[in-house]
Amino acid sequence: MLPPQDGFLFLDREQFHESFAGELPADRAAFLADAQVPWAVEALAGVVGEPAWRVRPTWYLVATDDRMIPPPAPRAMAERAGATVVEVPGSHAIYESQPGLVAGLVKQAAAAL
């Protein structure tokens, strides 16, 4: 993560592949690095009223090779939410590297409701 610029955060392009999208081909990771949309530092202080996971069934996909959010953190969040957890090898960009798996989990969750 680069230092904030004008209140927004970016991932370092030079470290993007290794840190965010490790299992993607280098050219795809470079494209994603160039296409990234900054997010506001203010988002880190956001407040949620009533979290949906308290009243609705929840699913969580843990990418075990994630270097952006170490896997113990999402595991703890999923446990707190009482989520159904699926763990797979992959980076933070699991939605890009394994879209069928991600879509399958979404379908599984939808079918369970």
Tens-digit pLDDT profile for residues 24-71: 999 999 999 999 999 999 998 988 899 999 999 999 999 999 999 999
* Rounded (5°) CA angle 10-13-16: 90
- In this structure, the answer to whether residues 42 and 62 fall within a common structural domain is no
* DSSP-assigned beta bridge partners for residue 63: 88
- In this structure, the answer to whether residues 67 and 112 fall within a common structural domain is yes
Identity at 52, one-letter amino acid code: A
Residue 113: predicted pLDDT? 84
Can you read off the two tokens belonging to residue 111? 């079918």
Residue 40: predicted pLDDT? 94
- In this structure, the answer to whether residues 111 and 58 fall within a common structural domain is yes
Nearest of 1, 6, 22 to residue 66 by alpha carbon: 22
- In this structure, the answer to whether residues 86 and 112 fall within a common structural domain is yes
- In this structure, the answer to whether residues 53 and 104 fall within a common structural domain is yes
**Total number of domains in the chain:** 2
- Global confidence as pTM: 0.85
**Range(s) of the domain holding residue 42:** 1-47
